[in-house]
Structure 1
Amino acid sequence: MNIRTCLALGLTALISAGAAHAADVEKPDIKLSVGGKALLYYLPLTVTEKLGYFKDAGLNVEISDFAGGSQSLQAQIGGSVDVTTGSYEHTIQMQAQGKPLVAVVDLGRYPGIALGIANSRVASYKSIKDLKGMRIGVTAPGSSTNFMVSYLMIKAGLKPEDASFIGVGGGASAVAAMRHGQIDAISNTDPVMSELETAGDIQVIADSRTAEGTNQIYGGPSPAAVLYMRPSFIQANPKTTQALVDALVRGLHWVQSHSPEQIADLMPPEYQGGNKTLYTTAIKKSLAIYSPDGKFDPAACANTLKVLQVFDDKVKAASIDLSKTYDETFVDQAQKSVK
C-alpha cells in the first residue's frame, strides 16, 4: 500500500469518525458567543478551536466575538447564540434576575485580571481611594473586568459611581486608549496588561493572575471563564453539551502539557500584536489561571457569590442557589474519556 493510499484511507476514517459523532449529537451546528476572544482569559477556547477538537466531537461551532463579557451575555439572554464562554459571575447575576444560566465546565481557576494605573498618575496614587474621579478602562461595562474594580472600590469605602468606567475592549483598542490618554487606569487581562506593563505605560496595583493575588483581591479563590448556557438547552441537547465539554476538557489538557512557546505557535498571528516574544511571556504569566481539569471548586463559587453581594444589589436581595449555577456532570464524564 503506497503513502497516497494510506493518507486517503486515514482521511476517510477521520471523516467517518466525524460523521459518527455528528449523528450522535442533537445539534451539530452551534453558535457560541465570547467577549474578547483574543484575550488570554479565553485561551482554552481558541486552543480547542484551532486543534479541531470541536470538529472531532461532531460539532460545527460558529464563534461570535464581542468587545466584552456583558455583550456576549446579552447575546445569550437574547437567544441569538446557543452557548457562551464567559465569566462565572454571570450565572449568579442572571439567577438573581430570574434568567437562569448553568456553567458546565470551568476554564479558569483564577480571573487573570489586573488593574493598572497610568504612569502619569502613579506619583499621586497612594491607595484604591485615589481611583475616585478617574476614567477606568474595562473591556465593557458590566464585565468581570468592571466587577473587580467595583469590588475593590467598595472595600476601600468608595462607590463604583465615584469613577467613570469606559469600555475599551481588549487587544489593540485597549492599549491605544491608555497610550492616547483616554483613560487614567485600566482593568484588563493579558496580553493587554503585559504589553502595557512591559512598555512602562502602567503600574499594576492589583493582579489576579496568581493564587496569591486572587486571594488578596477577593479574599479567596474565584473561578473565571466558564462555558454556560440556558438549562433548557442542556435538557434538549445533553449529548451536544457533553460533546462541547469533551472538546474543551481536551483543550485544557493540551494547555497543561505544552510550553508557552508551543501555545504561542498555535495561536492566530494577529493575537500576538506583532511581538511574539512579548505574547509568549504573557502566556507564561497567565498559565496558572487555567483549570487543569475543568472541574468547579464549590468554595470558589461560594466566594464569588460573597463578592457579588458586596456591589450587586439584585444579587444581594436574591436567594441564590449556587448548586443551580453549575453542573459538573459533564466534566466528570469527560474525565473518563478525554486524554
Structure 2
Amino acid sequence: MSDCCNRNIMERDICPCDGIDLLDDSQTAPEIQTHPITRRQVLKYMGGFLLTGFIAACGQAGGPQAQKSPVPTSIVSSQPTAPSREGLTKLDLAFCSQVLCILPFEVARQQGYFADEGYDVNLIYMKGGALAINALISKSVDFVGTPMDLIVRSVDQGQPVIMVASTSRLPFFALVVSPGKSSEITKISDLQGKRVGVNNLGTTDDLLLKALLAKNNLDPNSTDSVALGPNLYDALLRGEVDAGMVQEPALTLLSQKGARVLVNFMDRQQTNEVLGGDYQFMGLNTRPDVLDSKPDVVEKLARALVKANQWILNHTGSEIVKAAPQELAPGDDIQIFAKALDKYKESLYPSDGVIEEHAVRRVVETQKISGLLKNENIDISTLYTNKYVEG
C-alpha cells in the first residue's frame, strides 16, 4: 500500500486508496487478480473497520494510526459460500468492502438470485470505491457496486459511467457529538469552528457535513474537518474531535456512552427533514458500452439485486446478518447490526431498485456546495437509468 494511506490526508492529493473525489487523472486500474489472498486476510486488514462503522462511502483512506496492509494488490476476491451451479456464466462484480453495502450483493449470491439469472457471480472485495470505479473505467470489470457520489465525480471528469439499479437510497452515516461535548453542541450551528471527524476529505460523509453546514447558513468550510480513517470511534470517545460521522455499530456504542446524535442519515424521515429528500447512495453501476453490448446481462443482474433487497425487507435483522461475512461482525457486534437492520432496513433498501431523480440531484447539489464539480451544468440524465428495473 502506498505510504499516503498511512498518514492523515489533509489535502486532496492522489493516493491509490483514497476516497470518492480522488480518482486519478489516468483513470486506470490494476489488472484484476481474482484470488491473490483470502477474504479473511483482507477483512483482517480492515482492522478498526467496524468501530468506525464504515470505510467512508466505500472510499477508504487510512488515518494516522491506520494499519499497514499485507495486501500486495488493490483487489481481492471473496471465497464462495453458496454452492455453484454447473452451466452458469462466470462474471466478476467488484464493490467496496463495507458491511451494509455488501448485504444486497451477498444476499443475491447466497440466495441464488444471480444463479437464477444464469450467472455465477464472483464478488470482488476492493479496498475503496474509487478503485472499483477505476476498474470499471479501465474495463477490468463491467459491473461495480459503488455510491452515486463516484458516478457524479467520474462523469464530471469526462469518464462515462452510469447507475442502473439502486441498492441503497440513503447514506449509511450519522453525525454524532463526542460524549464529552454533548451538552455543549446541541445543534448543527454549534459545530462552527469545531473539529469534526470524517473518514477522508471529499468522501460522502465529508460532503454531507458541508451540505448540513450550508443548510444552516454556515460556510461549508467553517468546521475543521479531520480525516481519521478507520479510527473515528476511538477519537470521538477520547474527545480528540468534537463530533464525527459514524455508522453502526459505532452509532449504537457511542450513543450508549452519552454521544448526542445530530442527524441520522440512515433514518429516512430525518434525511428528508434535513436534506429535503433521499440522497441516492449505493447501486449497481456499469458503462454505456456495456448497456449497448450486454443489455440482457444488465437487466438480469439488476433483477437479482431487486430480489435481494426484497428478501432483506422480508426478513429479520438476525437472519439478514448471516449473509454478511462473519469476519466483519465478530462477537456482540453482530447483534448490534441485526437490531440496526430491523430499525433501518425499510429506510435504506428500496424494494424496486428505482433511482429517483431528486435523490440523484441532491448528490450533485451537495458536490456543488463542496466545490468539487468542474461542470456546474452536469446532465442528470447521464448519471442513471431506470430502464433495467422498470422493465
TM tier, shorter chain? 0.7 to 0.9
Amino acid at match of 1:258: H
Identity %: 23
2:315 to 251, 254, 258: 258
Aligned to 2:50: none
Where does 1:39-188 land on structure 2 (aligned, <5 Å)? 40-57=100-117, 58-66=119-127, 68-77=128-137, 80-156=140-216, 157-160=218-221, 162-169=223-230, 173-188=231-246
Deviations 1:118-169 (A, max 9, x none): 1112232143233344443334432222211111122331233632231424
CA change 1:217–1:48 in 2 (3 A) is: same
Aligned to 2:85: 15
Deviation at 1:103, TM superposition (A): 0.3
Maintained 8 Å contact 1:87/1:226 = yes
Structure 2 residue 364 is matched with structure 1 residue 305: yes
CA change 1:271–1:206 in 2 (3 A) is: same
Deviation at 1:313, TM superposition (A): 4.6
Q: Which runs of 5+ in 2 are unaligned?
A: 1-83
Distance 1:251 1:15 in 2: 19
Amino acid at match of 2:371: D
Distance 2:152 2:319 in 1: 35
- If asked which structure has higher relative contact order (CA below 8 Å, sep 6+), I would say 1
1:241 to 290, 298, 314: 298
Deviation at 1:214, TM superposition (A): 0.9
* 255-264 or 229-238: bigger deviation: 229-238
CA change 1:15–1:266 in 2 (3 A) is: closer
Aligned to 2:94: 32
Distance 2:188 2:129 in 1: 24
CA change 1:72–1:15 in 2 (3 A) is: closer
Distance 1:31 1:74 in 2: 13
CA change 1:254–1:188 in 2 (3 A) is: same
Aligned to 1:25: none
Deviations 1:272-309 (A, max 9, x none): 34113322111122212110110122232233333333
Q: Provide the aligned C-alpha RMSD in A.
A: 2.7
Maintained 8 Å contact 1:48/1:250 = yes
Maintained 8 Å contact 1:252/1:292 = yes
Aligned to 1:330: 388
Question: Equivalent residue of 1:148, what SS?
Answer: helix
Deviation at 1:174, TM superposition (A): 4.0
| TM-score normalised to structure 1 length | 0.79
Deviation at 1:213, TM superposition (A): 0.6
Aligned to 2:376: 318
Question: Equivalent residue of 1:59, what SS?
Answer: strand
Q: Which runs of 5+ in 1 are unaligned?
A: 1-13, 23-27, 334-339
Distance 1:145 1:217 in 2: 15
Amino acid at match of 1:89: D
Distance 2:370 2:220 in 1: 9
Q: Which has the larger radius of gyration?
A: 1
Aligned to 2:69: none
Amino acid at match of 2:271: T
Give the length in aligned residue pairs.
Answer: 305
CA change 1:102–1:54 in 2 (3 A) is: same
Deviation at 1:42, TM superposition (A): 4.2
Distance 1:175 1:50 in 2: 31
